[in-house]
């Protein structure tokens, strides 16, 4: 994808944060400058366990603050009495990397959670994924956001642009200050609710699917395509055909790009902002 | 008088301009000359016939042509030939001008519609170019662009590479939402063996509950033996989410199919 691999290689700064147990109580702060502050940034965070908060500010650098109770650095390790030395560690290491205006934060698998608070320039697309522990929260950022969590909530507050958000067991909540007129969006949760507030004058097609939840809105919606009635046909040869269309397509503001909402157990709320 | 004088005197007589003296001399000669008598009779008859003919009145079109020719003559060298032609043909009233413009537009459109028989190749090339763009969207870095690619695929013809690209999204896309959208896009194409096989394989491998539900719906909608068997096989997975299990069992029962896996497949 990257067309400037050499450029990127030169610009890439690899930074390892290894926080000693002695400093576990205090916040660790890392400031990452962007390659080109005049252009929008991308923040990529991939954590197994923890809590992720991303806030926009009127600055040009990415500021990472973490209070993780992390491991002892290898060099500080006490010599073992059995004469063995550690050559691989299962301890937590958070790696921050910047290249071509993309800041990546990754952590090796660890059952320990990491609380991560990242302050970013306003024009930053946030791509974050989490499995266990807490929530993903992003506030005030403008860009194309992609957020996915398994056991916690996914919350986007006062964001601009577009978002693709998913949680398996948590809620998905989003309030938009403004929405890209041409970008499709998608919000889904298996067990949680999906609650999205969109600009009142938005023109879009809402594609709504819920197996066991209710769908609520204060938008004036025009039904474009009803769920087809369950139809069933079979023959003696053992072939069956069942139609179980549960999605409904509504137009708001005359229709526009697709915005998909999907839950299994949860409700879907689509609000005017 | 002599025979040579007869035509002149005859003409005067026919025109009613002959004197009494000339008239007497002509009569005297005709009494003696049979040849001149015959000629006078023939000429008089012709004259009478001509008098009986209708007076020819110039037709309106002739008048118009004359005026047009006159105007053209007057306008000659007064400007470019195109100006003169337009001036001659372009109506003066705005309503007529608008009508003529609309008519010309219609003619242009009709000609345009008739012509493309020779540009089918270009249309095909354009379509293939659009397909390349659509397939590139499906492979884009941004999830939103990939969703756009999936939406495009639903509006396009069912080329095999499009179906393959969608199946690839179902299996491997980093975003659950894109995977779900790709399953939806393939729902209209189930009962094609390669689609059923791809969705069945995905159901075997995916462990996201929402996706398992969407795949179950799509496969049972297809209703092929392979599709139903894939749903049954999922039920045998021990780690399956209880809600998904209940949903799939109910759906299988509604489809009139057994929930137990068949031994022969």
Question: pLDDT, tens digit, for every residue of A137-161?
Answer: 999 999 999 999 999 999 999 999 9
Task: Enter the tokens of residue B196.
Answer: 């059923």
The two most distant CA atoms of chain B are separated, in Å, by 147
What does the pLDDT read at residue B116?
Answer: 54
Asked if B254's CB is within 8 angstroms of A230's CB, the reply is: yes
Q: Which residues pair with A126 in a beta bridge?
A: A43
Please say if the pLDDT value at position B204 is more than 50.
yes
The partner residue sitting opposite A188, judged by closest CB among B144, B151, B176, is B176
Confidence bin at A270 (pLDDT 50/70/90): very high
Asked if A239's CB is within 8 angstroms of B210's CB, the reply is: no
- Residue A168: CB atoms within 10 A of its CB come to 22
Which residues, 6+ apart, have CB-to-CB distance to B104 below 8 Å? none
> What SS3 string covers A209-250?
EECCCCEEECCCCEEEECCCCCEEEECCCCCEEEECCCEEEE
**Cβ-based contacts of B255 with chain A (< 8 Å):** 232, 240, 242
In chain A, the percentage of residues whose pLDDT exceeds 90 is 56
Kindly state whether B247 is in contact with chain A, defined as any CB-CB distance less than 8 angstroms: yes
Give the count of Cβ contacts less than 8 A between chain A and B: 104
Which of the pair, B71 or B105, is modelled with greater confidence? B105
Q: How far apart are CA A49 and CA A237, in angstroms?
A: 51
In chain A, the percentage of residues whose pLDDT exceeds 70 is 73
Which residues, 6+ apart, have CB-to-CB distance to B245 below 8 Å? B235
* Residue A238 zone, left/alpha/beta (φ > 0; ψ -120 to 50; rest): left
Confidence bin at A174 (pLDDT 50/70/90): very high
* Residue A65 zone, left/alpha/beta (φ > 0; ψ -120 to 50; rest): beta
Q: How far apart are CA B216 and CA A221, in angstroms?
A: 29
CB–CB of B248/B231 below 8 Å? yes
Confidence bin at A52 (pLDDT 50/70/90): very high
3-state DSSP percent of chain A in helix, strand and coil, to 5: 5, 55, 40
From the CA of B113, how many Å to the nearest CA of chain A?
A: 30
Q: How far apart are CA B12 and CA A196, in angstroms?
A: 114
Asked if B251's CB is within 8 angstroms of A264's CB, the reply is: no
Please say if the pLDDT value at position B113 is more than 80.
no
């Amino acid at each position: 994808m990257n067309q400037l691999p050499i450029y990127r290689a030169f610009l890439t700064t690899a930074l390892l944060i290894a926080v000693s147990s002695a400093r576990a109580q205090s916040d660790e702060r890392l400031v990452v400058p962007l390659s080109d502050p005049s252009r929008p940034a991308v923040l990529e965070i991939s954590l197994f366990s923890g809590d992720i908060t991303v806030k926009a500010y009127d600055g040009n650098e990415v500021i990472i603050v973490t209070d993780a109770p992390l491991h002892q650095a290898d060099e500080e390790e006490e010599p073992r009495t059995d004469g063995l030395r550690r050559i691989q560690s299962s301890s937590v290491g958070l790696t921050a990397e910047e290249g071509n205006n993309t800041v990546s934060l990754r952590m090796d698998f660890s059952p320990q959670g990491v609380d991560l608070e990242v302050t970013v320039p306003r024009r930053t697309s946030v791509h974050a994924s989490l499995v266990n522990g807490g929530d993903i929260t992003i506030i005030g950022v403008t860009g194309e956001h992609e957020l996915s969590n398994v056991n916690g909530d996914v919350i986007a507050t006062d964001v601009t642009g577009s978002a693709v958000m998913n949680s398996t067991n948590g809620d998905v909540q989003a309030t938009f200050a403004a929405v890209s007129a041409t970008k499709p969006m998608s919000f889904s949760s298996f067990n949680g609710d999906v609650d999205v507030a969109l600009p009142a004058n938005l023109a879009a097609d809402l594609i709504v699917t819920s197996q066991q939840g209710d769908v609520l809105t204060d938008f004036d919606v025009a039904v474009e395509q009803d769920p087809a009635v369950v139809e069933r046909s079979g023959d003696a040869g053992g072939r069956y055909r069942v139609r179980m269309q549960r999605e409904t397509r509504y137009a708001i503001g005359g229709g526009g790009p697709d915005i998909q909402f999907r839950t299994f157990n949860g409700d879907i709320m689509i609000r005017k902002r | 008088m002599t025979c040579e004088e007869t035509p002149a005197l005859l003409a005067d007589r026919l025109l009613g301009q002959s004197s009494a003296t000339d008239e007497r001399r002509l009569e005297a000669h005709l009494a003696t000359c049979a040849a001149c008598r015959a000629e006078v009779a023939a000429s008089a008859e012709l004259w009478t016939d001509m008098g009986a003919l209708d007076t020819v009145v110039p037709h309106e079109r002739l008048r118009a042509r004359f005026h047009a020719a006159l105007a053209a003559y007057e306008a000659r060298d007064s400007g470019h030939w195109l100006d003169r032609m337009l001036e001659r043909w372009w109506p003066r009233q705005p309503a007529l001008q608008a009508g003529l413009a609309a008519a010309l537009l219609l003619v242009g459109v009709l000609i345009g519609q008739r012509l493309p028989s020779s540009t089918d190749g270009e249309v095909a090339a354009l379509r293939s170019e659009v397909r390349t763009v659509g397939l590139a969207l499906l492979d884009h870095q941004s999830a939103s662009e990939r969703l756009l690619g999936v939406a495009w695929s639903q509006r396009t013809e069912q080329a095999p590479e499009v179906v393959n690209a969608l199946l690839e999204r179902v299996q491997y896309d980093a975003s659950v939402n894109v995977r779900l959208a790709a399953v939806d896009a393939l729902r209209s194409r189930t009962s094609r063996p390669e689609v059923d096989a791809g969705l069945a394989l995905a159901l075997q491998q995916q462990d996201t509950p929402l996706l398992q539900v969407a795949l179950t719906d799509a496969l049972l909608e297809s209703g092929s033996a392979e599709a139903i068997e894939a749903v049954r096989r999922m039920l045998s997975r021990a780690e399956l989410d209880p809600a998904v299990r209940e949903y799939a069992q109910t759906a299988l029962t509604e489809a009139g199919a057994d929930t137990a896996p068949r031994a022969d497949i």
